[in-house]
Structure 1
Amino acid sequence: MQLFDPDVQDAHRALSRGRSVRIVGARGSGRSTVLGRTVQLLERSRHPVVSVVDDGLGVALPGYLAAQLLRTLGAAPAKEPSAIADALAQAVSAGTIIAIDGLERVDAFSLRVLETVRLRTDVRFLVTELPGFGRHDPDRTLSPSWPERVVRLSGLGLAEAHALAADVLDGEVDPALAAVLTAQTAGRPLLVRLLASTARDRDRLVRSDGVWRRAARSLWNDDLLHQIDGLLGSYAAPVRRLVAALAESGPLRLGDAEAIGGADVLRTAEDYGLVAWSGDRGDDRVQAWPPLVAERFRDRESAAAGYGAGRSRVSAALLADRLRRQRETGHRVMASAASGWPESPDRPLLATLDLQVEPSNGDAEGRQHLLRAAARGDTATLRRLALGARASAGSGPAVPVADAFADLLEGDAASAAAKADVLRQAGVRLLAPDDIVASAYVATLAAHRLGDPHLVERSLEAALLAGRPSAAFTPLYAALLQLNALHRSDGATAKLHSALASESHRLAPTPGAFFGTGADLVHTVLSDPDRDPAAFDSALARAGAVRRESGFPLAAAQTVAAGLEVGFGPLAAAEFGRAVSELIAPAFHRIARLVELLDTGTTAAVRARAGACVDGPTFPMGDLVLAAARRETDADRRDALLGLAEALGGQRMPGVWPPRVAAAARDGSDAATLTGRELEIAMLAGRFTNAQIGELLSISGRTVENHLARAMRKSGVRSRADLYDVVSAPRGWHPRRGGPGGPSPTRG
């Protein structure tokens, strides 16, 4: 498995064009891996690279790194800074790249020498650095050299962490286990590897039916002790003391945390990714981060049981949202800034997730009523449940979830999304998995209708982080796993897609009351309606009939509606009408009238419907009409259908499952579609012949030729020169358009 391909490509591209590169990330983020792979690619493309290896003596001995460089380059030893700089400047060749892993471990003397060498020569630097290191310790870093490229690394997403865990464990991984690994490590690759491998070796994981699952409540094991200590040992003593105090005491108020080591130390630790905000609005506490590091200092008996005193326990969605935001730019937190929420509106929420929350049984009967009413599409009962919960408790998840279910069935997707996204509201504390799964299900369907991929992603990940719900809510959980698989139907996340679908089939192998259950769904919806329209229409109608005849008309209507959005056909249209006839949900009756018009209505009726435009913006149906228009052979009727689609808002539902890629996007030239090997060969194609590339990579010239042909076809170019330009140029540049700067960039 090749993680960090885009980052390596970005760094190599910048260095090939004369820029220096900084790889910025916390320890464990994979920055050393990116540097090492970039160096390998540079050496294969015959760029002169000098790497400095850290052996732990860099900071302790002034001038140590400079002396290493002198020995590596074969220059005469020297003692004075000016003499060392002169010797290095004469020893480096044109275009030399100096690679340094960990500027924080380099002594100030050597850095001053390197600054002098940089000013005298055209040497470039490839370095790794902690976030904010130059601000906190300006004497121990290289000043920005222009032009320069900064490659920022943050935590892995769920799909990447799942793929990494499968690679480490050498087998399929339960998606719920991948979610735990992601949550405990904040997606840091080094920690994911450590936690997965040590948990396996200490029998905290078990392989059942070929799938790795948790065998214990906590994955912590004593093999992690020296690993975590080694990770923390390279930080300054005040930072280590602060992290230990926060981990032992649990989250502390901002003022108390500053009292331990001062505001500067707190800000430094937060920049380095060792401290983060905890809690909800109005709560100015900070905590040790990631959770795995914090667990190092917890009481071992409590850790083994999966609990910890003073640990903040909140909804899984807060953690899902934090993990997502840490991978986005522009959301950095200043721990020493104002603590109040109004003064810091962009401050990302952060929660330590208690992954072992037991479901509450206090309102089990009410939850059963909620499930039955939602499965039947009974909006009146849902409203009564919400009213009763509001009157008895005044708050809690049952009120917004029941209301959100009803809003969704009545066609108001925007209101349903707002109410079901209660998981992100910071005031909600300690939701049980049942509540999280129910809310995530409604939020996902509503977000799909609204075309909000961020809400879809956040809701699906929140359900995984919450863990397995009670037996009654297992069908909903299985449905979410299936929807998650459909959401990840692209090739880049194939392993996670397969694992999600398999786990969903295991939990709910037959169609059930909720959209997403049943092993037939993914095969039906993921099939290509353009390849064999009649077969797709028949399979979709059959999937709906199976659900309707099993007593689940709402699931039948939802399933057929999802398929009709991408492939309209008469059999499925008729089956949709039969399913809706058994429902009392107003939104589906509106859709059924439209489907009947698209299937059997006259051209005049279609034009009249476009003129009436009676549907409001809460339930856009333009994709249904566009799907029917794609099947229409009569020009006049197709024109009428396109007019109706425009009247209904056109293609306003980008959340169609599976996510469809437009033809223009499929035919475009995007280097990200290349495999790792194709990209590597493409980068060499501008400098070497096929035989030379084969010699460099130890493969045959015919293999090189095949890779080049596929890469050129994917990139939409016809020459190896244009292919090199595509993969080495800045984002947005295209050889046929001359790029943002006009002429083709110089190869070198």
Structure 2
Amino acid sequence: MFEQEVRRTLEYIARGMAVRIVAAPGGGRTTITQKVIAEFEKGGVTVYSISGLRSHRRVPFGGIHSLGQDIRVGQLGVLGVADVLASRLTKPGERVLVVDDLEYVDPESIAVLDAVRRRTRRPMIVTMTESSLYTKGRVPLLGLGPEARVHLNPLRYEQVNELITEVLGTPADADATARILAKSAGNPRLIVRIAETAALSGLLARRDGQWHMTNDTLWNEHLYSTVESLLEGLEADELTGLQTMAIAGTASIDVLQQVIKPDVLDRLEQRGFISAIDSAHNDISLAITPPVISDYFRGERMLTTRRVLANRITRTLSAEPQESNASASSGDSLTRVLAALRVERSSGDAATARHFHEQTAILERHRFELWDADKSVSNAAALLRVYWGSPIDASRIEQVLASTPTADGDSGELLFFAVSKALWAIYSGKGLDQAAAVLRSFAKEHPRRSAEADAFELFINASYDKMPQDLDQVLERLHERRPGSSVIASVQAILELYRFNPNGALAALESSRDPGINPGIEPFIRGMAMFSLGRFEEAVVLALDKRAEARRDLDQFGVVSSTYVAAHALSYGGYLDEADYLMGSVFAMGRPGFLMDSLYDAMLRLAGLRTAASTIEPTITLATQARRQTEEAGPLPGMGKGVYNLVAGRPLVPAVFDRQAAYLIKRQLQRGYVLEAAHSALFLTCLLPGRKTLDLLREALRDHSITAHEQLVEIAATVVKEDHQSLDTLLKKYKPDADLYHVRMLLRGAFKRYAFVDDSIGAAAMERAYLLFSARFPSAVEPLAFNSGSYSPLTVREIEVAALAGHRTNPEIAEHLGLSIRTVENHISNALRKTGSPTRSALFELVRDSLPFR
């Protein structure tokens, strides 16, 4: 963790620049500093390091004493001490000054450092918080020359998962990881403390190789000192302001200013204790960050001692929030939505996740209370709509499904209730037969809407079993039974996506303007159809716009579905960091409900692909948090676990990889999931090109009249045919399209293909082609590729023989592999010559840990 920031810091110092590392307390500043110092010392650089301490802020020359340089201050004063330190820094050799936690260094030491820096111009690294800029008496030590700034953003979901695994030994499940991220706001120190104390308090328990939450909270008494250290130094009115916000929860700035003075809010924002969130009313809401501070102030002891304050806040918050006249930005362009996404990334996603948790919990509780008072189908449907997108309360769902009378009610709401009951049967493991029985029972009781119930049964069977072979006839009969039904149109659109007919999906949507059973379905289908047609930029713009709208409306269903579309489209276009952030922001919200759970697991696998391909050693990725009972094939890309398992298994012998990939794609086709098969074939062809996989890709594109990938397919054909001359011609003629990133990925995969079989001539040709193509179309993003490490100069057969040579005789090896003894002798002789190994035992030691060929 922090490798990129450490590397950047070392590069800046090598250029003679000063470096300012900025982060919140506990944000990793000291960790980076320690790693940088270790790298300096490895290279023989002399480091003069000062660490500021809160308790030493008012101790004159405390920072200088911490240098350990035996500088006797005595009567020297600031300038005398500066003379001594400057004389040591000007000695021959590389020397660097490091000041960790500038805000806690005493004024006298800062004055010495300022004088020394002006005299010696030695490189300096300073760590500080943003709030240090507002601290009186701080001298800008780094303002004397060129300066670089390294800002540490809050950790993302996958980094939190990695840190929890490091601290607790095994990873946490998705819900526990999301909750720790939300409570810590991505602060590394808080992540560690919350995870450790939760395990100590029994709030986290290990089961099936993962840590799971045993309660609905992570707050425990062991966290008091951690939070109090964060709050140290705050004024009384600032502490009262935070307690007020803790009682009020996330609220509009206009409302909070009625109970907290604006200057107090300003000071809290300067210190980094407030985060701003765009609300559904186009105004700004404020929340405490990190959210664990709210848990501290909401403790029973705190609230009972401040009842007057709580009552005053309650009265004030009863007023309606003021409406804002701000208008939403217009224009649909990739540049605009990516710029907005990068601005969002800089603030982290923990605050938004917490806001979702709070508001959906309030909404869910309110709707449950309404249902509890009046167990009508209408109230039940309103509550179940929350669970379609937001985290599920299993006990309440069971209670609502079992206790709601369905004799009367609106037919549309009764249909929604029946569909929810069927989906719950699948989600809770009761199986397809139980789900189908629920829908058939509804169809029997409500003949007028039986066609729509049958449509949902068709959808469930197609999604969780396989596509029917007579789909067109089934759909035609359903439309005849209930013409103009938006529900049937939506089901048809989804199934058209499954079978790789995006134009048919769009046509089905156009046939009905009604949103159907869930308004969030339509933009999801439209975005996936654009993605399937190769209109990636349009898919990204639509999905990110819908995601921003869903975030403002606290619509988790819309956030998850639009993020799935955007993540796939961005990944295809090479925007891997943006895709990772988007998926991490969804993971931070915890597991969603019903249908969205499958999309959530698909994104966990997509996020894990990059790590699985780039690491040689087997490693834990986010994909391990996905449900394990998933089938190899799924109706949409990533819903099946087959592609991820193939990549994580790393069968790097190209012929083996091609054979396994083709087998997986054929299984996807057998279930009728043509979109997933085409997407898998395209991705796997570019990752490690093979003839069988490419043939399946060509067939899928040709049979469904998809012309968006013609240039890519032509280039891939020359690669698998090893026609380097034609490849060079195609690359020179290539006109940039949506496949640009994947063409680079294909060329890198082609290099790996030759390298793995020790074809140095082919590997050199592919390396040259890749470099020429990259020079023509430069990009800062490295294409996804298998990490082979230092690939062996041996052939696959030579490795197999060498792996047995350490403990078997030549006749035994010959019998085991079905070779002649003379052939075995030749293989061993060649392997000894190629590797320079002196003995058979040395050769065995060399190849036994050759993971790519294990």
Cα shift at 1:545: 1.6
Q: Is the partner of 2:525 in helix, strand or coil? A: helix
After the TM superposition, which of the residue ranges 503-512 and 119-128 deviates more from structure 2?
119-128
Q: Distance in 2 between matches of 1:74 and 1:225?
A: 39
Q: Is the partner of 1:286 in helix, strand or coil? A: strand
Q: 2:71 aligns with which of 51, 74, 80?
A: 74
Q: Distance in 2 between matches of 1:121 and 1:178?
A: 47
Q: Distance in 2 between matches of 1:272 and 1:392?
A: 48
Contact 1:103 1:129 in 2 (8 A): yes
After the TM superposition, which of the residue ranges 252-261 and 471-480 deviates more from structure 2?
252-261
Corresponding position of 1:539: 660
Corresponding position of 1:683: none
Contact 1:475 1:507 in 2 (8 A): no
Corresponding position of 1:315: none
Q: Distance in 1 between matches of 2:732 and 2:80?
A: 78
| Structure 1 residues 219 and 323: CA distance shift in structure 2, 3 A | farther
Give CA-to-partner distance per residue, 1:499-554, whole Å, 9 cap, x none.
3333446041432222224443224457889x655444432221122122234344
| Structure 1 residues 580 and 473: CA distance shift in structure 2, 3 A | farther
Give CA-to-partner distance per residue, 1:632-663, whole Å, 9 cap, x none.
34577657755785497773546969996984
Q: Distance in 1 between matches of 2:691 and 2:128?
A: 61
Contact 1:626 1:645 in 2 (8 A): no
| Structure 1 residues 384 and 104: CA distance shift in structure 2, 3 A | same
| Structure 1 residues 489 and 247: CA distance shift in structure 2, 3 A | same
Question: Superposed, which structure 2 residues align to 1:581-620 within 5 Å?
Answer: 589-591=704-706, 615=707, 619-620=708-709
Q: Distance in 2 between matches of 1:649 and 1:499?
A: 28
Question: Superposed, which structure 2 residues align to 1:101-500 within 5 Å?
Answer: 101-121=100-120, 125-131=124-130, 133-139=132-138, 142=141, 144-235=143-234, 239-254=238-253, 266-280=265-279, 282-298=282-298, 325=343, 352-355=354-357, 357=360, 359-360=386-387, 363=416, 365=419, 373=495, 374-377=497-500, 380=504, 384=508, 390=514, 396-426=519-549, 428-429=551-552, 433-453=556-576, 456-491=579-614, 498-500=620-622
Corresponding position of 2:25: 27
Cα shift at 1:355: 4.2
2:162 partner amino acid: A
Contact 1:548 1:579 in 2 (8 A): no
Q: 2:669 aligns with which of 542, 548, 554?
A: 548
Match status 1:632 vs 2:721: yes
2:644 partner amino acid: V
Q: Which has the higher contact order (CA 8 A, sep 6+)?
A: 1
Contact 1:77 1:84 in 2 (8 A): no
Contact 1:565 1:624 in 2 (8 A): no
Q: Is the partner of 1:425 in helix, strand or coil? A: helix
| Structure 1 residues 168 and 621: CA distance shift in structure 2, 3 A | farther
Cα shift at 1:622: 2.8
| Structure 1 residues 470 and 132: CA distance shift in structure 2, 3 A | closer
| Structure 1 residues 266 and 137: CA distance shift in structure 2, 3 A | farther
| Structure 1 residues 467 and 557: CA distance shift in structure 2, 3 A | same
Contact 1:154 1:326 in 2 (8 A): no
Corresponding position of 2:436: none
Contact 2:246 2:294 in 1 (8 A): yes
Cα shift at 1:266: 4.3
Give CA-to-partner distance per residue, 1:123-160, whole Å, 9 cap, x none.
65433211252355354553623244433222223332
Contact 1:134 1:140 in 2 (8 A): no
Q: Distance in 2 between matches of 1:621 and 1:388?
A: 33
Q: Distance in 2 between matches of 1:115 and 1:643?
A: 57
Q: Distance in 2 between matches of 1:189 and 1:24?
A: 14
2:72 partner amino acid: A
Q: Distance in 1 between matches of 2:58 and 2:665?
A: 71
Cα shift at 1:279: 2.2
| Structure 1 residues 504 and 70: CA distance shift in structure 2, 3 A | closer
| Structure 1 residues 579 and 272: CA distance shift in structure 2, 3 A | same
1:590 partner amino acid: S
Q: Distance in 2 between matches of 1:162 and 1:473?
A: 21
Gaps of 5+ in 2: 304-312, 322-337, 365-385, 389-412, 424-455, 460-489, 752-766, 775-779, 783-788, 790-854
Cα shift at 1:15: 4.8
After the TM superposition, which of the residue ranges 36-45 and 155-164 deviates more from structure 2?
36-45
Contact 2:688 2:746 in 1 (8 A): no
Cα shift at 1:626: 1.6
Cα shift at 1:168: 0.4
Give CA-to-partner distance per residue, 1:461-507, whole Å, 9 cap, x none.
24423432345444433322222222444547988x73333344604
Q: Is the partner of 1:404 in helix, strand or coil? A: helix
Contact 2:49 2:98 in 1 (8 A): yes
Cα shift at 1:212: 2.1
| Structure 1 residues 568 and 144: CA distance shift in structure 2, 3 A | closer
1:283 partner amino acid: D
Contact 1:489 1:659 in 2 (8 A): no
TM-score, normalised via structure 2 length: 0.60
Corresponding position of 1:508: 630
Give CA-to-partner distance per residue, 1:555-598, whole Å, 9 cap, x none.
333323333445555544554577679xxxxxx6123xxxxxxx
Q: Is the partner of 2:620 in helix, strand or coil? A: helix
Q: Distance in 1 between matches of 2:555 and 2:234?
A: 38
2:283 partner amino acid: D
Q: Distance in 1 between matches of 2:67 and 2:209?
A: 53
TM-score, normalised via structure 1 length: 0.67
Cα shift at 1:162: 1.9
2:21 partner amino acid: I
Contact 1:21 1:150 in 2 (8 A): yes
Q: Distance in 1 between matches of 2:176 and 2:748?
A: 26
After the TM superposition, which of the residue ranges 26-35 and 146-155 deviates more from structure 2?
146-155
Cα RMSD for the two superposed structures: 4.8
Identity within the alignment, %: 23
Corresponding position of 2:468: none
Gaps of 5+ in 1: 313-319, 333-346, 582-587, 592-614, 673-677, 679-748
| Structure 1 residues 386 and 73: CA distance shift in structure 2, 3 A | farther
